[in-house]
Amino acid sequence: MNNDDFRQWSQRAADWAADYRNNLRERPVRPLVEPGDIFRSIEASPPEDAEPMDRIFADFEEKIVPGMTHWQHPRFFAYFPANAAPVSVVAEYLVSAMAAQCMLWQTSPAATELETRTVDWMRQALGLPEGFSGVIQDSASSATLNAVLTMRERALDWQGNKKGLAGQGRLRIYSSDQVHTSIDRAIWVSGIGEDNLVRIPVAGGFRAMEAAALEAAIVADREAGMLPAGIIASVGGTSTGGTDDIAAVAEIARRHGLYLHVDAAWAGSAMICPEFRQGRRRAG
Ligand SMILES: Cc1ncc(COP(=O)(O)O)c(C=O)c1O
């Protein structure tokens, strides 16, 4: 594809995307396909020669789009809307055009510095105190895995990665029974073992971990010679929005020297509205 073709097809893609948004309401929310229909419509072997772009685009329109579930559809009521504000679609295009590699400051200084600045904007928007900082993760699952690995290493005096987990103490991590399955996956991947994810019962309209039960579990585990490593609290459990009392959980974490991770993937952004920040406490 030469640069003129690139310009032409980029414009065609932009027109397609604007029309898609305009006419989305007329499509079915879910594709009218049976499992395997799309697989069978794709040639079994890769093409020997380059395909012309108009054929590729026609395949996209005729085979792929009718096989998609349309998360932006006005009648899509499952899960949650999927992060495709028009402005972010345009941004995605620009990022792709540069093939931006943003893993280190050297690889893209502007990306690192923009990230640092906007993470602080988020801190301010959420009403968090100065001193909170961080980096953007590629998914909530990765954020939780990073947190669980940090809990593990911190509790093992940073020896887990070095010596392995055999012969180390029995690590314990605490969460409510409302958390997303990504928490279970992080526990598996980190080698902590699902028997060591202690599910604290919930109570009240917000299905929050019972603080007394949390603290009792930590104390009992320590007395039994285990190694409490961290707590995973939730602001919006995926099934019903279960939300822990973060202040109470943070206080217990502080008292017992435990690392606290808050999974706020589902409802955290609501905390930008000050009127929602105290909601859990009001409803009890
Ligand atoms: C509360 C919660 N945590 C974590 C996740 C996992 O998110 P991701 O797909 O970004 O890993 C989800 C996804 O639905 C979620 O609702």
Asked if residue 142 and residue 61 are part of one domain, the reply reads no
Which residues 6+ apart lie within 8 Å of 253 measured at CB? 230, 231, 259, 260
Cα dihedral sign for 163, 166, 167, 173? positive
Q: Residues 196, 274: one domain?
A: yes
Look at residue 112 and tell me if it is in a domain. Answer: no
Cα distance between residue 117 and residue 174, in whole Å: 32
**3-state SS string for 156-216:** CCCCHHHHCCCCCCCEEEEEECCCCHHHHHHHHHCCCCHHHEEEECEECCCCEECHHHHHH
Tell me, using a 6 A CB cutoff, whether residue 243 lines ligand 1: no
Write down the pLDDT at residue 81.
66
Shortest-distance atom of ligand 1 to CA 144 = 4
185 CA from centroid of ligand 1 (Å): 11
- CATH number of domain containing 220: 3.40.640.10
- Beta-bridge partners for 233: 262
The helix/strand/coil state of 236 is coil
- Structural domain span for residue 42: 3-98
CA–centroid distance, 50 to ligand 1, in Å, is 39
Please give the distance, rounded to the nearest whole angstrom, from the Cα atom of residue 86 to the centre of ligand 1: 22
Rounded CA-CA distance 79/71 in Å is: 9
Q: Degrees (nearest 5) of the Cα angle 110, 111, 115? A: 115
CB 29 within 8 A of CB 82: no
- Whether 245 is in the pocket of ligand 1, judged by its Cβ within 6 Å, is no
pTM: 0.89
- Residue 131 domain flag: no
Helices and strands per DSSP (H, E), number in the chain: 12, 6
Q: Are residues 147 and 270 in the same domain?
A: yes
> Is 123 among the domain residues?
no
Average pLDDT per block of 10 residues along the chain, 284 residues long: 97 98 95 96 95 96 96 87 85 96 96 97 95 94 98 97 94 96 97 97 94 97 98 93 94 98 94 82 49
Q: Which two tokens stand for residue 7?
A: 């310009």
With b for 16 or more beta-carbon neighbours within 10 A and e for fewer, the 223-232 pattern comes to eeebebbbbb
Question: What token pair was written down for 227?
Answer: 């190694």
Q: Give the pLDDT confidence score for residue 239 in this predicted structure.
A: 87
Contact 260, 231 (CB under 8 A): yes
- Which residue do the tokens 């100065």 mark? 130
Q: How many domains does the chain have?
A: 2
Q: Which residues pair with 198 in a beta bridge?
A: 174
Report CA 250 to chain centroid distance, whole Å: 21
The number of the ligand 1 atom at minimal distance from the alpha carbon of 143 is 11
- Identify the CA nearest to 121 among candidates 94, 34, 100, 113: 113
What is the structure's pLDDT at 79?
Answer: 77
Domain boundary (98, 118, 146) is at 98
Query: Can you give the CATH number for the domain in which 32 is found?
Result: 1.20.1340.10
CA of 52 to the centre of ligand 1 (A): 39
Q: Is 149 in the pocket of ligand 1 (CB under 6 A)?
A: no
Kindly give the distance from the C-alpha atom of residue 164 to the centroid of ligand 1, in angstroms, as a whole number.
28
